[in-house]
Amino acid sequence: MVKLSVIVPFFNVQTYAPDTLRSLGANAREDFEFILVDDCSTDGTPDLLDRAAREVPGAVLVRHGTNEGLATARNTGLEAARGKFITFLDGDDWLAPGHCSRLLSVIEELGVDFVRTDHVQCTGRTRTVHRVPVGLRGVALRPREAILPAGRSTSVDYPYAWAGIYHRRLLEAGLLHFRHGLRTAEDRPWIWRLHREAHSFAVAGLLGVFYRRGVATSLTQIGDVRQLDFLRAFDQVIEETSRDPDAEKLLPKAVRTYCAIMSHHLGAIERFEPAVAKTLRSMSAAAMKRMPKDLVEDALNSMDCDRAARLRRLRRRPVTRAAAGVTA
């Protein structure tokens, strides 16, 4: 029986994939499988994955015929997964030796739906520990209660799918799939849905995931139209949360987070191509008009003057029909 499935999408990461694949080998067990999803790479990544499929115990190689993006690649891995438990890793990151076994021990001991973990961010030679913004560790908690308060960083603001482990019952309940085609912010609607609908979770202070930041091919470093998928992602968060029985309590948090992310992108608008920057402005203005006015105003009042002024100016812009039609 497969105890754990590790889903690892790859796209044009030939420089970093060797570290990733070596770390999988250092986590191998007879009851683990590593699902390597090649999202139609065009560099040397496919050759590295062919070799890994032969040499890494438990490796299963799946290939896309066209590039689909991270969300869809993870879904492909979920469809192939046979494990009782599931975790993720990105193709340019890596794991400490034995991390998967430690993860598995924690979730089996606590008996929860999912466990979230801290991680190490790696930027060049700099290493920084990032913690799950939840104070209680090693005890079962209710995910819904970890969404709030609205004015503080909470568990839904720590969206990384690879920073945790998930029971298969979540997959069978339809809670682990990502929105098809999202190329950035794919973790945001995913983490919100998980916290609204799962029954239990816990946080463990394990430092075994190493997240590589500043990779030139990462979408976080590229200012093209794919970055605008964050708007689709947060539209989905708003739409789904508005249908929740606790929408009145949860929506202020969702709106505040959406506005903060919009302001962040608009504050760095010079990194976008000119046509993309124009679209970002119009789509952001339309998104603010779609949200409840009182919640948007509360969100702006909670920001510092510069960030709030940026969004207030944008809110006064006329909205085109095309921008107004962007929905989840």
Residue 246's CB is within 10 A of a number of other CB atoms, namely 12
| pLDDT value of position 214 | 79
Look up tokens 């994955």; give the residue.
49
Q: Are 178 and 190 in contact (CB under 8 A)?
A: yes
| pLDDT value of position 224 | 73
Please state, in angstroms and rounded to a whole number, the distance separating the CA atoms of residues 254 and 312.
Answer: 18
Please state, in angstroms and rounded to a whole number, the distance separating the CA atoms of residues 120 and 15.
Answer: 20
Please state, in angstroms and rounded to a whole number, the distance separating the CA atoms of residues 280 and 300.
Answer: 18
Q: What DSSP designation does 12 have?
A: S
Dihedral sign for Cα atoms in the order 187, 129, 201, 102: positive
Query: Would you list the domain boundaries of the chain?
Result: 4-217, 223-324
Look up tokens 């839904």; give the residue.
156
Lookup: tokens for 250: 């949860």
Query: For 70-109, how does the pLDDT look when each residue is reduced to its tens digit (9 = 90+)?
Result: 999 999 999 999 999 999 999 999 999 999 999 999 999 9
Q: In what order do the strands lie in the sheet with 114-117?
A: 59-63, 32-38, 4-10, 85-88, 164-167, 114-117, 201-204
pTM of the entire predicted model = 0.92
Nearest to 46 by CA among 58, 62, 70: 62
| pLDDT value of position 328 | 45
Q: Give every CB contact of residue 325 below 8 A, 6+ residues apart in sequence.
A: none
The CATH architecture that domain 4-217 belongs to is: Alpha-Beta Complex (3.90)
Share of the chain above pLDDT 70, in %: 94
Query: For 173-230, how does the pLDDT look when each residue is reduced to its tens digit (9 = 90+)?
Result: 999 999 998 989 999 999 999 999 999 999 999 999 999 997 655 544 455 788 899 9
Query: For 296-328, how does the pLDDT look when each residue is reduced to its tens digit (9 = 90+)?
Result: 999 999 999 999 999 999 888 776 655 555 544
Q: How far from 144 is each of 13, 137, 201, CA to CA, in Å?
A: 36, 16, 10
